[in-house]
Structure 1
Amino acid sequence: MANKYLNFISDEHLMKCIENLHKSYTKAKANVSKKKFYNNKIDTIKLTFDAKFNDLDEETLIKTEINRQIDKSINNSIGTFHEQILGGIRGFEMGNLSGFDIKAIDNTLFADIKNKHNTMNSSSAESLFQKLAKYADTYKQAKCYWVQILAKNSFNESWFGEINGKEYSHSRVYKISGDQFYKLLTGNENAFFELYTILPQAISDYLANKKEDESMNNSALEEITKSSISSKRSILDKITFENYAYYSGFDKLK
């Protein structure tokens, strides 16, 4: 029976990938309590500028910050989504925390996948090159790739250059854009585009067949609002006080 969505992975695998990402969305959005909201120190200096420059009231300001934190968490899951999609292509598999993200079953390809081209600093880039070069040296037939799903251009080229003052090159270490990597693994020049094209319908079909609805209970704003009223501080001052009361002078916030 022909696939409904894509010809390079099964419909069942695609739906499983969508389901896994949906679970990540649900987990990220579920019950953002004040404690969870405060896990990373809140930059109330930035929030002050956001409020004034973007003309936001305090409630909208905090909702925006909560959504920013949720979005940051979800961005990491998008890279995993691509790993799972690519790992479902015949002849390839996911690394499952083995040091690589995708490999050919016959060890002729190893890849590390980054969702965006600018997610690494120089130290991370150096470490990644060394890791890929080690795979290339261990597996003499292997080509090893730094994959940038969302790249600034479409390319498949040798990765060489200066990183942290050192020159790096290897005959079988490459960097490659998302569209070219999908093409490489599927043999289909437009595979990445086809994934993009079918996603709206595939997601709708997944949601239509999903039985239960998860209820969201984001309590952070409610908790902060109550404590700001009881302390007679503004919401922003209350957040600042609860995050930085140990800073000199901040315990005097009224």
Structure 2
Amino acid sequence: MSWTLSFISEDDFTNHVRATIQKYGDKLKSFDLKRFNKNIVDPVKLIFDKSVYRASWDEIISNEIFRQRDKSNNNDIGYFHQRIFQYMPFCHVPPNGEEGGWDVIYKNPNGIVLPDNSIVHTVYVEMKNKHNTMNSASAGKTFIKMQNQLLKDDDCACFLVEAIAKQSQNIKWETTVDGQRVGHRLIRRVSMDQFYALVTGQNDAFYQMCMVLPQKIQEVVATADSTLIPEDSVMRELKAIAAKNSLANEDLSIAMAIYMLGFPSYNGFAR
């Protein structure tokens, strides 16, 4: 298949996808029963989930493993959204915590046209995965940071870029600071598709990237080291424990094996 993205090379995109997958790190390691119960699962919830959702034990255990893996994956996807801009023209991704702590700095000597047709030459970006990840205190702190940047540089704008915004937008950001509603035309709330469009000059650049992403992930995973493909043994271990229980049926025996994950010393369960 020919490469269709003009704003990033296939090699750079492939390397970035591979780096993102590698960021998953420990979360890609296989789950055995000990790791599965490291923070002690809630056996009663698993029992309810199985019955209410009419699922098999294999499905319930797989879902719980997925939930445990997924808890910290947002940071890895944040890495994908942020670091991809290092490969795009006029964009710079500072090392974490450096250069003011901005996630992306976009400098274009030809000028950057904002929706009101004003022109700046630099955009400082604070990037968030989702529109509702900031509480009021965090939002206020971020807005003040952007205000301070405008005071230091009168030829810039500051963007709060959201990967998952409520809608496609590039609007003046208004929030509350010290109980006062504040806003500034150069401090903007921008959806990821609109930021891609601004940087690349292509309105559907983010869409184009999303269309090639699934196949590229599959290609990278298919050629990856076998350690990137987890082989979870939790269900097999639970069935082995269940087989030793002298209970009426397999379903109850597995339920008892799960109960023992959370209640091994409780009255009636302890042996």
Q: What TM-score, normalized by structure 1, do the two folds share?
A: 0.80
Distance 1:166 1:63 in 2: 47
**Comparing 217-226 and 131-140, the one that deviates more:** 217-226
**Greater Cα offset, 150-159 or 117-126:** 117-126
- The corresponding residue for 1:89 is 88
CA separation of 1:212 and 1:61: change in aligned 2, threshold 3 A: closer
Paired letter, 1:85 = I
Find the counterpart in structure 1 of residue 103 from structure 2. Answer: 101
Residue pairs, 1:182-221, within 5 angstroms: 182-207=196-221, 210=223, 212-214=225-227, 215-221=229-235
- Please, which moves more after superposition, 13-22 or 165-174? 165-174
Residues 174, 183 of structure 2: 8 Å contact kept: yes
RMSD: 3.0
Q: Deviations over 1:80-104 (max 9, x none)?
A: 1111212211111113212221112
| Correspondence 1:102-141 to 2 at 5 A | 102-105=104-107, 108-141=122-155
CA–CA distance in 2 between the matches of 1:127 and 1:229?
Answer: 56
Secondary structure at the residue paired with 2:17?
Answer: helix
- Secondary structure class of the residue paired with 1:160: strand
Residue 254 of structure 2 is aligned to residue 240 of structure 1: no
Partner secondary structure for residue 188 of structure 1: coil
Shift of residue 17 of structure 1? 0.9
Q: How many angstroms apart in 1 are the aligned matches of 2:260 and 2:180?
A: 48
Deviation at 1:174, TM superposition (A): 0.9
Partner of 1:12: 11
- Tell me how many residue pairs correspond in the alignment: 244
What corresponds to 2:267 in structure 1?
252
1:44-68 deviations in Å (ceiling 9; x for gaps): 4543431221123444322210012
1:36-185 alignment, distance < 5 Å: 36-40=35-39, 42-98=41-97, 99-105=101-107, 108-162=122-176, 165-185=179-199
* Per-residue CA distance 1:188-213 (angstroms, 9 max, x = gap): 111111111222343355456x3643
Whether contact under 8 Å (1:86, 1:182) holds in the other structure is no
Do the aligned partners of 2:90 and 2:106 also contact (CA within 8 Å) in 1? yes
Contact in 1 for aligned 2:18/2:220 (Cα 8 Å): yes
DSSP-derived class of the 1:126 partner:
helix
Give CA-to-partner distance per residue, 1:169-224, whole Å, 9 cap, x none: 2342111011101111111111111111222343355456x364335243444555
Q: TM-score scaled to structure 2, two decimals?
A: 0.75
What is the identity percentage for the equivalent residue pairs of Structure 1 and Structure 2? 29
Which one has a bigger Cα radius of gyration?
Answer: 2
How far apart, CA to CA, are the structure 2 residues paired with 1:73 and 1:87? 23
Question: Runs of 5+ in structure 1 lacking a partner?
Answer: 246-250
Structure-2 residue corresponding to 1:30: 29
**Going by fraction, where is strand more abundant, 1 or 2?**
2
**Residues of 1 paired with 2:104 and 2:205: CA distance?**
17
Q: What CA distance in whole angstroms lies between the structure 1 residues aligned with 2:257 and 2:219?
A: 41
1:110 to 1:46, Cα distance in 2 relative to 1, 3 A:
farther
